[in-house]
Every structure is written in C-alpha cells, then in structure tokens.
Structure 1
Amino acid sequence: MKFVIIKHIFRLIVVYTTIIMFSIACNTTNSDRNYNVKYPVVLAKFHENVINYYLNSEIDDRATNILIENLQEDGSWSTIDYSNKVRGGWPVKNHLLHVQNLAIHYKNKTSRFYKDKDVLHKIHRALNYWLNNDFLSTNWHDQHIGVPELLLPTLFLMENELSKQQLDKAIVLLNRAKIKMSGQNKVWLSTNVMLRSLLLRKQDSVSIASKAIQDELKIANGVGVKPDWSYHEHGAQLQFGNYGLSYLEDMIKCYTFVNNTPFQFEDSKIEFLRDYVLKGQQWVIWNNTYDVNASGRQLFLNEQEKKAARLKRCLEQMKLLDTAHAKAYEDVLNTKTLSGNKHFWKSDFHVHRRQDFYFSVKMSSKRVIGTESVNQENIQGYYMGDGVALLSTHNEAYRNVFPFWDWKKLPGTTIIQDTLALPIIKFSGFKTNGTFVGGVSNGKNGIAVMDYNRDGLAAKKSWFMFNDKVICLGSGITTNSDFPVTTTLNQSFLKGSVLVSENNSVTRTSRVGVSQEIDWVLHDHIGYLFPNKGQVKLSTQILEGSWNNVAKRYRPVILTENIFKLGLAHGKQPKNEKYEYILVPNASKDTMIHLNKNKPFKIVNTQKIQSVESIDGTWAGIAFFKEGVSKVYGGITVNKPCVLMLEHKENALVLSVSDPSHSLNKIKVNLKGYYIFEGSTYSNGQTQLTIHLPQGEQAGKTVFYHLSK
C-alpha cells in the first residue's frame, strides 16, 4: 500500500512538472527575459530563416550611434517631423526603420551594440512611442503594407524582450494587412500576413499566405509579369523599376524565408524568377544605372543609381538561390555585358544596347499607359510615354537632370509648345490614341514605330536601331494648333564644348537660333547627323530648376545647371512636316565628317512608308503604316500595315515581322527574287509568303522567317 501511494505521488510530480514545462514552452508573453522563444516544430525552420535574414543585414555601428544620439526621452527622433502627411515616401515611417536598425544591432554579435542594455532600453522607448501613437498617413499603402512590413522584423528580433501589452498593440497594427488585390500589392500584403501568422504560430494561415505569394509567380493576365517579361502595375503600364523591382526583391526574400520548410516554393518558381531577371530586368540596367524610361513615376534624386544597386543586390541573392546559373547572374552584375536588342511588345518599350552605349524608347498607345502621376510624384510627366528616346554613353547623361528639363521638350518626342501648365493626372489619361504602336526585333537590331495621335497632333514616328546607330524618322506631322511644334533630339547636362557643322564648316558654338544648313552636331561624344538637314535649334544655357517641380516631397529649393538642348522646329500649324536624324553614340569629329560625306543609309520617309537600308545592302527595315510597295531590295509588297526587318546572310534572307496593331491574323508579303520556304510560291520574279502572326497575349511579338535563296 505504501509503495502504491509513493508511486502515485511520483506520477503526480511528473505530470505537474510536465504541465509546468509545457506552460513555459508555450508562453508567448515572454515575461522571463532570459528565456528563448519557442516555435512549433513545423514553424521552427521558418522562424530561424526569418531571424537569420534580418541578422544578415549590413552592420553600420556609426550610423546606429547617430540614431541613438538623436533619440529623445519620449521615444521620438528629433530628425523626424511626425506631423508630415505627404502621400509618397511618408517620412514618418523612418521611425520604424530606425527601431528595426537598433534591434538588428542589438541582436547581431558583430555589432558593438550587441546585448547593450542601454540600447535595449531605447528600443523599448522608441517602439512604445509608435505603438502608443499609431501614426497614420493619408495613403492606404502605409497602413496596410508599409507599417507592418517595417514593424515585423523588430517584433521577431525582440520577441523575447517584449511584453504582452507591446505585442497586443503591435498585432492591432499588423491585422490591417489582408490578402487581397493582385500583382506586387498582393505580394506585399500576403508577405505581411504570412509573417504575422508565423508570429502568432498559425500554421494554416502561413500556408495560405505562402501560396498566395507563389500564385503571383506566373505570367499574369492583368497586372504582374507579362509574356515579354516586362512588369505591369496600375493597368497596362510598364513598372519595371517601381512595382516590378519590389516584386523581385520580395519574391527573393519570401523564397529565402520559407526555403527548406513545409511552405517552400515549388521548384518551377525559381526558374520563373530567373527568366524574369535574365529576360526582363537585366535589359534595363546599364553601367550601374537603371533606365529612366523603365523607372515608372519614381524620378527621384539619385534614384537611377539606387535602383541599379537594388537590382544588383537581387542578383547576388539569386546567385546563392539558383547556384546552377550563378555565371549568368555574374554576367548581369557586369552591367555592360549584355549586348543586343529587345522589343517588349506588351509594354510599347524598346531597348537597344551595346557595351559602350544604351538606348531606349518608351511609347504608349490605346493599349498601353505611358506613365502615371501618383502621390504627387512625376507631376510634370504628361509626355513621358510619348516616344521618349534616351541615349547614354556614360552614366551621367540623365543623372538628376529632371529639375532642369523642359517637360515639353523631352528627348525623342514631338510636342506642341503651348503655354498651358501640364495636366496632373493619375494614369488613365497617359495614353495616346495610336493603335499602330510597337516594334520588331531579331535580338541584335530592331525597329520601334509609333503612329502618334494625341491632343490634336498627329505624327508617324520610327526609330531604326542598327548596330551602333539609331536612325530617327518622323513624317505627317500635322496640327491646327497656333503654337509651334518641336521634335526634341536631346536635353541633358552640358558636358564640354559643342561642335556644329554648317555647310561642311565646323565651329564650336553654344547656340543656334534656327538653321536649315546644319550638317551635324557633336556633344558629349554623341553625334546628331542630319541627312537632309532641317530646322535645327540648339541652346546651352544656365537654367534654374527645383526638385519640388518633379515631386512634392522635395522642398522648393532653386538649383542651377548648364543644360544642352537640341531640337527641330516644325513651326505653327504644320501640315505633313517631317524630320530625319541619326544618333551616333561614341562619335568624334572625324566620325561625323566621314558620315556626312559618306551617307551610311538610304532613307525613305513618307506618311505611308518609312524605310532605312544600309548602303552595303546587308540590312534593311521598313515601317508600312499602310499596305503598299517599298523599293527596298528591288521591291517588297505587303497587304497590311506592319513592320519588317531584313538581313542578308550567305545564301539566305532573314525576315523579321511584327504587327504593331496587335489585331492581324496574317500578312501577305511579296519579295523580289526567288526564295525557298515551306508554303511559299514563286511567280513573275517574286516570292509570295503568308506570314502567320501570334495571337492573344503573344500579339505584337516578332516572328522570324529564314528564307533560302
């Protein structure tokens, strides 16, 4: 009997001890400051990945020391205006970024602030200041996305040191994020939900959020990654450098979070990210600079360098996640490696690049939105999708030039020079009325075309990109406006002297009023050749500008810079006016003299047909704005508007074709001469082909035909 009683007492002790231990293990209030938090086995690796991700952040003790010095007794920072309600780049969020910084340094063994009790006290003080005030901006994005995103790392890193009251207040803020919307907005929201669910140990919610994130790793019907590997957000609008870059960053982050966990991404998802990098994003970074044309509305101070640095960080991470393709990412990190031509047919966007220059043209149409002005950003950008053509031979050409731009004289555009203020609209009005807008590309060379029609001005515009030159044509320039019309070739910082050849006489000058005798202009190693001259106007002036005119987040401080402007004047109420000029990157005086004397191309420039053929006959391109006949290569006939590019190879003709209208099923093409191709016919000295065009989401994409002689 005595033995039985002792045995029973022993069992009670074991059970009681087990209950106590279980209670301690499940305690999420963390009242015991020396206790390490516990997560269920199924979530443990996920939690470990999250902690390691943030602890691997770059350590900067000097910057952190400044944060500590500027923290006030009430937990606020003296450097932050907490009454600020600006919609874009809400600076009050920096408070949470500062708290996160302190938490990372407090938890990182390599920091001199590791386990510093004074820093711990300051973290609590600063965190409580936010939790007690719950600062709100006027932008939904901050409450649902930005604040939870910045708060969560601190909660994970400091979870062991937080009180139940702090966690309860924080959860109220985190609960504002819900899985909804699409594209990058959905990724942001779902990531917040996934991490909140991890913090609350809710396995099912983690699984749902992880799946919601992975569901966006696909070719999207609406916003998201498109079949040409461009990225759309806010409708059919190119957003490579805005939402599209955040999309890449967050997908890599989430992939890292859930790697080797029950919630990890499917194997095919890393392949999708690889394609998005190599077939999309890498095309718009050159010489450690992110293309202005691909940046969306974010034309901020030093933004092109910052975006390039962000993309390069993504590339470094992809090398670790996708080790079998590390060499490909390494090549992209050398941002001049890629050489070629690509037309993004879903975005009316074209890139032509070599190791020593970068050129892009951004267009818009009835299908594609050119740009947007949101959160008082890009407030002068009304014409940013109207054929803006930017050529760079170094990374300083357009770096921070935006305060000094005349926004009615954007490079590449043809615009009415009225005196009205530019409209500030969101994005629906940033379309043109053109339907024949697109391009053709064979991977090496290409053609972009734009049947421009906006605000009473019509023009046929094209850019023929062949090797190291870009031939720019315009015809049918017509408007009833009483204001003059200008085609702008460039508007950039003045770098050194300007050489001008007028009737074969070369001089240095800073200004040309309007001259019809200009042969060429050379500035900053870029040549502008005028095969048939034109009403050329040049100015180099010290201009005033302010970042406040670009985005209202900046103070209205007046700056001055020397600006180079070069354009072609078409006069008032032009009727069927035209222009022709050739961009020559990395040119010299001798180069321009030679090209002027030995014209490199045969050019036809009418309202129906614009064509360029190399003098040696190896390459030609034709923009058929209407069905008709071109004299190129002895005669080419098409029965529908289209764009053709032809290259003579040994015993073959390579034909590249696209339909900029995205509306045709097929095109019939007749070529002078006898060529062999399946389905072709030959009669009366001509080869007849029926070109079958891509449909649906592939409409507008280039098709290729290799014709044997």
Structure 2
Amino acid sequence: MKRILTLGIVLLTVNSLLPAQEITFSETKFNWGTVREQDGNVSHDFRFVNTGDKPLTIKNIITGCGCTSSEWTEKAYQPGEEGIIRLVYHPQGRTENDINLVAEIYTNRAAKGVVTLEMAGEIKREAPSYSSRYNPANGKRSQSPTYIPQDEYEQILERIREELYAKTTTQQADRATEKLLRSMLPEGKWSDLDYACFFRTNWEPVEHLKRLVTIAASYTDKQSRYYGNEVLYNAIRDALQYWVKQDPTCFNWWYNQISVPQTQASLLALMDAGQKKLPSEIRMPILKAMGERSDPRKWTGANKMDIAIHHLIRGCLLKNDSIVRVNADEIFYPVQIVANEGIQEDLSYHQHGPQLYIGGYGTVFVDNIVRMGNILNGTKYAMNPEKLTLFSNFIRNTYFNVFRSRYLDFSVTGRGVSRKGTLDYGDCAALFRNLQALDAKHAGEYADIARRFLTQEASYQRSDKNTMYHCSDYMLHNRQNYDFSVRTSSTRTNKTESGNGENLYGTYMSDGATNIRVNGNEYADIFPVWEWDRIPGTTLPAGEKRNPIDWGSKGTCTFTGGVSDGKYGVMTFKMDDYGVKAQKSWFMFDNEVVCLGSGIGSNVPTDIVTTVNQCHLDGNVWINTGKALRQATQGEFAFEQAPQWIWHDSIAYLFPQGNNIKLKMDRQKGNWAKINFNYPATEISMPIFNLVINHGQSPRNASYAYIVVPGINHPEKMKTYSCRHLKIERNDTEIQAVNNRKSGILQIVFFKPGTFDNEEIKVKALKPCVVQIKKSKGKVTDMQIADPQNQEKLKPGVDVIIL
C-alpha cells in the first residue's frame, strides 16, 4: 500500500528585490511517525516556489541511501511557479529501526548552495521468516587433507587465506556464517541489501560479496566446523550466480575498480582451496571482469596499489608469471620519492594533487605495503631492500609521529575527518606484528609504538622532535608529554578536500589549524558538533562556510612555511582569504608553544575570531584572573579583562596580551549528516570546551598573543609554573619574534627585509624569511633560515647577518 502525505504551502509574494533564481520550500523537515514495514513504501511531497525572477531548474537530487528515491518534474519553473519534490522511503528488508535521512537538492539557483531536506520516523517490523534452503545442518563437515603449496603462486594464495582467517576467530566466523545462511533467500541474495543502490559511498551491493567471503572462510578453513560443507558451497555458488547475472555497478569508480574486485579476489583465493571448485561459468566471468575494469598503470599512490593487489591475486589464480610480476612491481612502485602523488622529499604523503594525506590515503599506502610486503616476502616478487629502507624511514619518522597514543592528527586525514571513528585506529595489533616481521631491524621500535596504541600510554618511549614538512605546509612538534601541529595551505599545495558528500564544512581546515594533544583523544568524533568556523588555531569570520569545491583547491597564500633544527621550530602563515588578513606564527619550544597574530584586518561585516581551542570538555576548567582562582561552571564567559590563564584537561592557556577572551563550556548539538551526506541526521550532543579571542567586526591592525602549555596535569601546578623565560620581543606587521632564555633560542619571522635588535643581539635580514638562532654562553652556536615563499635556499651570513 502506498501512502502519500502532503502539507499545504504558504503562498509567497515576489517583490522587486528578487535573486535571479531561488527555491523556497514550505518546509524542509518531515517526520513520518511510525511506519509499518508490511505496508510498503511511504512518500512525502515537499512543495516549493521559484521566488526568483528567472527560470529555476532542478539539476539533481541525491538521497541519503538506496532506501530512498526521489521524483520531480524535469522542467524550467518560471518565477512564482510552484513545484513538488516527492521523496519515497522503501522500508522492506531494511535493518535500521529509525529513519534519519537527508536529501540534497541541486538547482541552478543564484546562491549556488545546496538545499537540504530531512526525513525522520521509526519502523515497526514483523519478525522475518527464513528459508531452510541453506541450513548448514543439512550438510556435513569434510575431512581435512594435508596441503602443501606446490609453487610460489600457491604459497602466495595460502598466505592470503591465512590472513583472511586471522581476521576473526573460527568460532566467530562460523556464527556469522550461520546467521548469513539463515537470512539468504533461495535466489542467492539478501533481502536487506539494496542491489539497485546508486549511492557513491556506503554502496550496499558490495556487502553481498563481503558476506560471501565470510561464508567462504568457514567453507575452506580446516579449523571450521563447516569445512567442506556442501550447503555452504551451494550458497556461495548460487550467490555468485546471482551477482554475475545482476552485475551491479556504482556511480563511484572506487567501488567498481577497487572495492568489488578486491573482495572478489579474496573470495576466489579462498574458494581455490575449497573441497569443491567453482564452476568455470562463474569463475571465469569474474576473473575476466577483474582484468578488464581497471589498470594500475593509469593510477598513482594508494589507488595504484589497491588496483594492483587484486590483479596480482588474479595472476596467482591463473598461474600467470607476467601478471604477477607486473603487478608486484606496481604495488611497490609508490615506495619512492616523487614530485606528484605519494611520498614527498620531506617524507610527507600526498594524494589527489599536492594535498597532505598522511592519514586516509597514507594509511591505505602503509597497510598495503605492510600486507603485501609480508605476503610476497621470500618469493621472487618480494620488495627490494632499498624500497624497504625508504618505507621504514617513512613509517617510523612520519607516519607514526602523527599519532598521539592511537589517535590520528585530524589535519592529515583529508575528507575522512567527517567519518565516524576516523581518528581512533585501535590497537593495530596485526599491523605491528607484520611490521616486526617485515622490518626486523626496527622490531624493538615498533614494539614501543605498539604499546602506545594498545595501552594508550601516550608518553611511553616518546622522543622529542620537530619537523617542518615544507612540501605540505605542515609542521609537527612531538614531545614526550604532548603533540602540537600546524596545517596551512599555499599556492603550492591544496586545501583539505571534500567529495562524495564528505567533509562538507571543512573549508577552513588548512588555514592555520592546530592540533593540541596530551592524551590523544581530545578531538575524537567531535566533528558533527564542531563549530566549523572555530577550528583550533584559525583566524576567521564568524559563520560556517560550506566547502565550495569538491576534490580540493589550491590555497591563496604565498608566504607560509617554517624552519626547524629537528628539535625546535617556528612556522608562519600570512593569510589573505575570505576577506580577512592576518599574520600568524607559532613558536615551538620544549614545554610551550607561543602563538602570535598581527596585522589582523577585515572588510567582512562580522566578528573576526581567533580560536584557541575547540575540543571535548573533559573534567573541570579553572580560571586565574590575576585576582582570584576559581573553578568555572558550564555556560558562556566573556572577560572584560583577559585572565592570566585558563586550565583544562592538562593544558594551560596563558594570555600575556589583553585580548577579548570568550569561553564557552556547554553541550553543542549537531549530526553526522551535516558534514557527511552518507550518515543519518540523528541529532547528537557533546560537552565542548570552546575558547576564542574575538577581534570584533571589521578590525584594523588587531593582534593577539597566547601561550599553550600542555602537560600540566593539575591546576595546582600552575602555582609553581613561570613563563618568565619567554619574552615576546615583537608582534607587529614587520616582525614577530620570541626569545626563550631557558633554551637559548631566539625565533624570528621577518615579513619583509629588516633588522631585529633587542640590545642583546642584532639580526639583519635582507629578504623575508624565518630564522632560528641558538646561543650558548653568549655565543651563537647554530642558525637555521628558511624562505616561506619556497623560492630559494637562503644562506647565513649572506641573506641573514648577525651584526
């Protein structure tokens, strides 16, 4: 039975100040209440009017999952003309109990933004009844023969099978297989999967193949109670026949060329060890499709490797040396320094152009190399020693350093920041086991890192270092007690991308974003409730801004970068974007990071805000006003006079300059669908610590200064802490400089040629640059110089002179 629900629309009046095209809805949210599965589809009509003065067209409607479809009339709606968009929900065979769906409406409206429609409700179901066609009790277990691989192809396939078996216990795999067989329909499919799903992420049909991998593992694992059970074989055969007949394809190339063939490769590798082989009329069309639908030679970085892996498995199944050799070379090809996508000369990692992706695609790269390095180890297709040395250097000196405990730096994971659980990598036990086998020379170091992941002892065997990744506009400051990073972008690098409906509001993530981490989990899954115009470290106009371009765009800054001696560093960012100008620098020492901003100006008629931090509210907050020390309660605070310091979650924030400080400690609300179209719009809330400096509307030559002191595990310790060894020497539009007398380090940013003189040392810069000078017993022992414009290599005594 089809149920259609409609609401009346308020008639809208067109006046002379209309935009060119505009779509106005009478409502953008609707709740169906309780929907009974057995009643079939339900729909709702969202009514709209073209309130512009030119014709309006609807270009496309993207719904939140394959369970939802849309209907509309493809025509030009004249000014004042009404229309209807019908959204239909299909409850049959679904697994969710609550409806929280989003549809995005793409039109030619002058504002260019996407209009979002939301639907909610709950589903009432009847208990399903399953066919007994695939009841494993109707079959029996076979005897387990002794198996010895006869060649390297079989050895590689056996290692792949062992890897698949190790992903779960045999008992867990068997229980999952029983559940899947009970719910499989006689035609070899599952009713809860939408095989016509067209969504670009979370594409449901591939789950069909993943379920078959689970069943095939039980069928071929000699430890399984279902080893050789013919009922399992029949289920796999029938389900593959159904797949071959349907041949589902996705609008997202990644599923067609990577996810589906990789899953098919795993499935065929398992079935190659089965008591009964798949018939050629099933096996060969799958192998043929795997061979035809992708070519790793056309791709770079992680994508190249992903594609090559399933081709290599295909070659082993066919016992074709040429296919295996070519694709083994393709798998290890990205283990080299490149100028495009992959490992950069500074050991950062790029994907999708010059875009920082140490997490995300970088993680895929690491996982693939470790996995295939072990699978091919000892064969003629193994990775060569030179590549292993480079990979070891990358993973030990870059990859694991962006983690604090088991949690990733949010600024290196690209659009994946909008995915649930994206920062928490778990214990990665299998990864570390394989690394210790692959790179035995550094097994002890991997064991220490593995302990940090497993026990979440963030400081265990953590070394102090500072790295400037000049290829990626990223500085990482590692300390035993904390980690701090800065991410910017320039005309040389891409900003953090959106795409496939992900990271919809990450516009500002490459504009001076800072990660301040002591425990590691300060930002874990915070993103649906984040205020995206208050990303830590940034100076921005108030108001969230949706990412305007998919797949990344170049930055606008020509002056960003830093200098590092491997232990200390300073980074700068001369921002001119979104109607805001600001000169921002971060001075990184042992126990403190000094953050300076100058020349802040704006032609935007809204508040300009520098965010000190926006993280999970964890425990008490203490405020020292200089007159009193008090514990803050939940709520919002505006300080007429800046407090001396604010302490929260083992981090102290000091304010040596009398800025307009605002603190908010309260539950912030949001939903995953807002930032990632592939999630439901279920509202969630979290307590958030939100600390900012408000420069007011249209500021002129404003500035700020704050000092971050991580690792202060109790506010009482602030009684004995002193920052007198730190002196902010200058903070203006020509020079920003901080002197750390305890460490004997002077860090200077010259925004233009000039001279710095503090009566202790006189430094003349003939070109704009960043300088770090180290002194011992009154003498200069080291000087580091860098050009933030990345145009030339500057020389001490030539471009920068100590007078």
TM-score (norm 2): 0.75
- Is the CA contact 1:291–1:304 (under 8 Å) kept in the aligned structure 2? yes
Instruction: Give SS of 1:297's match.
Output: helix
Instruction: Give SS of 1:453's match.
Output: strand
1:370 and 2:495 correspond: yes
The residue number in structure 1 matching 2:212 is: 99
The residue number in structure 1 matching 2:49 is: none
**More displaced stretch, 295-304 vs 646-655:** 646-655
- Is the CA contact 1:638–1:668 (under 8 Å) kept in the aligned structure 2? no
The residue number in structure 1 matching 2:386 is: 268
Match of 1:646 among 773, 786, 803: 773
Q: CA deviation at 1:469?
A: 0.9
Give deviations 1:336-358, integer Å, cap 9, x for gaps. 43322222111111111222222
The whole-number CA distance in structure 1 between the counterparts of 2:341 and 2:477 is: 25
Instruction: Give SS of 1:666's match.
Output: coil
Q: 1:591 to 1:576 in 2, by over 3 A?
A: farther
1:123 and 2:211 correspond: no
Q: 1:55 to 1:512 in 2, by over 3 A?
A: closer
Q: 1:38 to 1:357 in 2, by over 3 A?
A: closer
Instruction: Give SS of 2:749's match.
Output: strand
The whole-number CA distance in structure 1 between the counterparts of 2:172 and 2:191 is: 18
The whole-number CA distance in structure 1 between the counterparts of 2:290 and 2:509 is: 37
The residue number in structure 1 matching 2:8 is: none
The residue number in structure 2 matching 1:318 is: 435
The whole-number CA distance in structure 2 between the counterparts of 1:130 and 1:413 is: 49
Q: 1:42 to 1:65 in 2, by over 3 A?
A: closer
Match of 2:568 among 418, 426, 445: 445
1:282 and 2:400 correspond: yes
The residue number in structure 2 matching 1:302 is: 421
Q: CA deviation at 1:670?
A: 7.9
The residue number in structure 1 matching 2:736 is: 610
Q: CA deviation at 1:272?
A: 1.9
- Is the CA contact 1:451–1:461 (under 8 Å) kept in the aligned structure 2? yes
The residue number in structure 2 matching 1:561 is: 686
1:458 and 2:581 correspond: yes
**More displaced stretch, 469-478 vs 639-648:** 639-648
The whole-number CA distance in structure 1 between the counterparts of 2:720 and 2:145 is: 78
**More displaced stretch, 246-255 vs 72-81:** 72-81
1:224 and 2:337 correspond: no
1:658 and 2:786 correspond: yes
The whole-number CA distance in structure 2 between the counterparts of 1:574 and 1:389 is: 23
Q: 1:42 to 1:543 in 2, by over 3 A?
A: closer
Q: CA deviation at 1:167?
A: 0.5
Give deviations 1:403-440, integer Å, cap 9, x for gaps. 1100001111000114x7423422343x4321111122
TM-score (norm 1): 0.85
Letter in 2 for 1:58: T
- Is the CA contact 2:482–2:518 (under 8 Å) kept in the aligned structure 1? yes
Letter in 2 for 1:348: D
Q: CA deviation at 1:36?
A: 10
Give deviations 1:434-482, integer Å, cap 9, x for gaps. 1111122222221121111212211111111100111111111111111
Letter in 2 for 1:72: M
- Is the CA contact 1:248–1:314 (under 8 Å) kept in the aligned structure 2? no
Instruction: Give SS of 1:66's match.
Output: helix
Structure 2, unpaired ranges of 5+? 1-142, 453-458
Match of 1:425 among 549, 565, 568: 549
The residue number in structure 2 matching 1:72 is: 184
- Is the CA contact 2:538–2:611 (under 8 Å) kept in the aligned structure 1? yes
1:488 and 2:606 correspond: no
Q: CA deviation at 1:609?
A: 0.9
- Is the CA contact 1:639–1:668 (under 8 Å) kept in the aligned structure 2? no
Instruction: Give SS of 2:644's match.
Output: strand
- Is the CA contact 2:621–2:646 (under 8 Å) kept in the aligned structure 1? yes
The residue number in structure 1 matching 2:756 is: 630
Q: CA deviation at 1:586?
A: 2.5
Q: 1:66 to 1:599 in 2, by over 3 A?
A: same
The residue number in structure 2 matching 1:169 is: 285
1:62 and 2:162 correspond: no
- Is the CA contact 1:432–1:452 (under 8 Å) kept in the aligned structure 2? no
Q: CA deviation at 1:524?
A: 1.8
- Is the CA contact 1:144–1:177 (under 8 Å) kept in the aligned structure 2? yes
Percent identity of paired positions between Structure 1 and Structure 2: 28
The whole-number CA distance in structure 1 between the counterparts of 2:151 and 2:716 is: 72
- Is the CA contact 2:342–2:349 (under 8 Å) kept in the aligned structure 1? yes
The residue number in structure 1 matching 2:106 is: none
The whole-number CA distance in structure 1 between the counterparts of 2:375 and 2:611 is: 48
1:399 and 2:518 correspond: no
Instruction: Give SS of 2:584's match.
Output: strand
The whole-number CA distance in structure 2 between the counterparts of 1:471 and 1:288 is: 26
1:338 and 2:454 correspond: no
Match of 2:535 among 402, 410, 418: 410
Give deviations 1:472-497, integer Å, cap 9, x for gaps. 11111111111110000111122223
The whole-number CA distance in structure 2 between the counterparts of 1:154 and 1:209 is: 19
Match of 2:486 among 361, 365, 384: 361
Letter in 2 for 1:277: I
Q: 1:333 to 1:62 in 2, by over 3 A?
A: closer
Q: CA deviation at 1:78?
A: 4.6
- Is the CA contact 2:533–2:545 (under 8 Å) kept in the aligned structure 1? no
Structural RMSD (CA): 2.6
The residue number in structure 2 matching 1:500 is: 623
Q: CA deviation at 1:578?
A: 0.5
The whole-number CA distance in structure 2 between the counterparts of 1:127 and 1:202 is: 24
Instruction: Give SS of 1:324's match.
Output: helix
**More displaced stretch, 89-98 vs 47-56:** 47-56
Give deviations 1:602-644, integer Å, cap 9, x for gaps. 3421111111112446122111111111125421111111111
Instruction: Give SS of 1:229's match.
Output: coil
**More displaced stretch, 551-560 vs 49-58:** 49-58
The residue number in structure 2 matching 1:540 is: 665
- Is the CA contact 1:504–1:519 (under 8 Å) kept in the aligned structure 2? no
The whole-number CA distance in structure 2 between the counterparts of 1:218 and 1:439 is: 25
Give deviations 1:126-175, integer Å, cap 9, x for gaps. 33332332222110111111100011111121135211111123124312
- Is the CA contact 2:665–2:688 (under 8 Å) kept in the aligned structure 1? yes
- Is the CA contact 1:645–1:657 (under 8 Å) kept in the aligned structure 2? yes
Q: How many residues matched?
A: 640
The whole-number CA distance in structure 2 between the counterparts of 1:334 and 1:350 is: 25
The whole-number CA distance in structure 1 between the counterparts of 2:707 and 2:483 is: 15
- Is the CA contact 1:530–1:582 (under 8 Å) kept in the aligned structure 2? yes
1:347 and 2:472 correspond: yes
Instruction: Give SS of 2:415's match.
Output: coil
The whole-number CA distance in structure 2 between the counterparts of 1:321 and 1:155 is: 26
Greater helix content = 1
The residue number in structure 1 matching 2:456 is: none
Match of 1:620 among 723, 729, 746: 746
Q: 1:319 to 1:580 in 2, by over 3 A?
A: same
